[in-house]
Structure 1
Amino acid sequence: MEKLYGVIGDPISQSMSPSMHNAAFSNLGLTAKYMAFHVTPDRLPAAIEGIRGLGIAGLNVTIPHKVSIMTLLDEIDPLAKKIGAVNTIVNEFGKLIGYNTDGAGYVTSLKEAIPKKRIQDQSILLIGAGGAARAIYFTLIDEGVEKVDIANRTKETARQLIHSRNSSSSLAMDLSEAESVVDSYDIIINTTSIGMYPSLDHTPIHLGHIKENTIVSDIIYNPIETKWLRVAKSFGAKTLNGVDMFVFQGALSFEKWTGIYPNIDVMRNVVLNKLGGVN
């Protein structure tokens, strides 16, 4: 019997997850199908009951449901509970369990980008303090990274995120303060939507005096290369876009559903082909 998986969100028509996951199922010869389901916030409780009723084996959750869905699930993984958001649901015989693979997906992509360095030894600046920043921040701290600072348009929001993890080694700052100290970081990560449409010509902070070979990362994957990453390259930085974060978080969801870690190259190539570019 074919197992059914999917992603829920509002909007959802732009999602690349069905193409990516269906390619992974096909590559492994699994009898399964992944679909996108448009679920508006007012229909979320009914959609959750539909998962149980239809026996949908697993779901990804995207904007705007990652937080609101938590009260509708039977169990929340401890890390997802700390992050305060769920992006993956596993249906275990009618019991719906929520996980968050966003942070782990990002950190996996970052480790791949610095294979000869220990991530724990890196000095990291996170730009933004929203849901994505929260997932990445908690995961980095759990990985043992001691120096993770947060810059945000509103400094108090960055301070609240640090306080929620009780990290005494992290600093909160506003964006102008971050610009004055970018040369003190090995890795700088943009977790905001600045660089996506309609903000294609904007950058989150200026990088005028970063160190050469700094890793400048953007979790945005469409466009593949934001203006910020192009500017970073011109200053001698090594850049990392959001494609691999998207792929790895999807692969971790896939593993939770099936017990099998999928072929990353198959998934990545599908995403790159749909984006019409190279990583």
Structure 2
Amino acid sequence: MEINKNRFKFAVIGDPLDQSLSPILHEEVFFQLGINGYYKKQLISAENLNNYLNSRILTSLNGFNVTLPHKNTIMRELDVINTRALDIGAVNCVLNKNNELWGFNTDWFGFAMALHKNKIKIKGKVALILGAGGVSSAVIFALVQNNISKIIIKNRTKSKIKLIIKQFSSKYKNIEIIEFDEKTEKSKSFDLIINCTSLGMSSYLNLSPLCLEYIKSNHIIIDTIYNPSETQLLKDAKKNGAKTLNGLDMFIYQGLASLDIWFEKNITEKIDYEKLKMKLMNSLCLQN
């Protein structure tokens, strides 16, 4: 593929998109690699997804990323779905290949790489997952691949927890996956706390998905949100002396993995990661 001569078109679809830095990430990659391409935000509500998929707006793109609220629902509209995305039950990356839409999940890879980059070892540990949506499934998949010992899931909708437990327990029988019980669970029973909800983002800026009393100094608190760079959960965690990590590295790595899928080869190995990250951090500083 002549990446320097052709004009490539990409987008992120979802609702809301105000907080997304995806265009900035991809524009920096295009600049570093000399790719003639553009990347835009395409605001699509849950009820309008089918209309857009049936129009030329999305099918004219080389590929697009998928965020809330479409990561699960888009799967039934795709022609081909990668096996990992099927296992996770969510798609965040779509490739337009030979007029067919191929679905992938790069969130799990982004999370796994974020753990690796920040030297967070999870083998044999216990994780508390906050949320039970598409991001939660990707994070759980990454944890399982990295030999987590036990996963506890906390979510308002209990039926969603049961679905995830059924989904993963049937295939990964060596991992214990259970529902959070406020009456019996003590904070000392887990090592990591990972927020996969939207609490802390956008209109939920001052909200945290977990009471401060559950956070201890020996915990590692990870928020998959990257904008704002420090959510209320992370602020609370710092107050209690816990180690914290936001979602920026996860966001960057999932974006780079998407580009490799769209170009069907490893084009991002030549990226100056720290320069790209600094560009995004500067953008976050201007926004917050």
TM range (shorter): 0.7 to 0.9
Question: Partner of 2:142: helix, strand, or coil?
Answer: helix
After superposition, residues 9-88 of structure 1 pair within 5 angstroms as 9-41=14-46, 43-49=48-54, 50=56, 54=60, 56-88=61-93
Contact 1:77 1:97 in 2 (8 A): yes
Contact 2:19 2:202 in 1 (8 A): no
The match for 2:180 among 154, 173, 181 is 173
The match for 2:150 among 119, 124, 147 is 147
Q: Distance in 2 between matches of 1:42 and 1:213?
A: 43
Give identity over the alignment, percent.
Answer: 38
| 1:277 positional shift | 7.0
Contact 2:220 2:243 in 1 (8 A): yes
Contact 2:64 2:95 in 1 (8 A): yes
The 1:257–1:266 alpha-carbon spacing in structure 2 relative to 1, beyond 3 Å, is: farther
The match for 1:241 among 213, 222, 246 is 246
Q: Which residue of 1 aligns with 2:219?
A: 214
Q: Distance in 1 between matches of 2:15 and 2:130?
A: 25
81-90 vs 16-25, which deviates more?
81-90
The alignment status of 1:270 with 2:279, answered yes or no, reads yes
Q: Which residue of 2 aligns with 1:137?
A: 140
| 1:164 positional shift | 1.5
The 1:60–1:157 alpha-carbon spacing in structure 2 relative to 1, beyond 3 Å, is: closer
The match for 1:157 among 156, 160, 181 is 160
Aligned residues: 273
Which structure 2 residue ranges, 5 or more long, are not aligned?
A: 1-5
1:171 aligned partner, one-letter code:
I
* TM-score, normalised with respect to structure 1: 0.86
Q: Distance in 2 between matches of 1:173 and 1:197?
A: 26
Which structure 1 residue ranges, 5 or more long, are not aligned?
A: none
Q: Which residue of 1 aligns with 2:3?
A: none
Q: Distance in 2 between matches of 1:123 and 1:113?
A: 18
Question: Partner of 2:41: helix, strand, or coil?
Answer: strand
1:139-174 residue CA offsets vs partner (Å, 9 max, x unmatched): 322333222221223445323311221255122114
Question: Partner of 1:124: helix, strand, or coil?
Answer: strand
1:122-149 residue CA offsets vs partner (Å, 9 max, x unmatched): 2211112122112211232233322222
The 1:277–1:48 alpha-carbon spacing in structure 2 relative to 1, beyond 3 Å, is: same
The 1:205–1:41 alpha-carbon spacing in structure 2 relative to 1, beyond 3 Å, is: closer
2:278 aligned partner, one-letter code:
N
Q: Distance in 1 between matches of 2:59 and 2:165?
A: 40
Contact 2:19 2:227 in 1 (8 A): no
* TM-score, normalised with respect to structure 2: 0.84
Contact 1:220 1:242 in 2 (8 A): yes
The alignment status of 1:200 with 2:205, answered yes or no, reads yes
The 1:231–1:112 alpha-carbon spacing in structure 2 relative to 1, beyond 3 Å, is: same
Q: Which residue of 1 aligns with 2:111?
A: 106
1:149 aligned partner, one-letter code:
I
| 1:22 positional shift | 1.0
Q: Distance in 1 between matches of 2:157 and 2:164?
A: 12
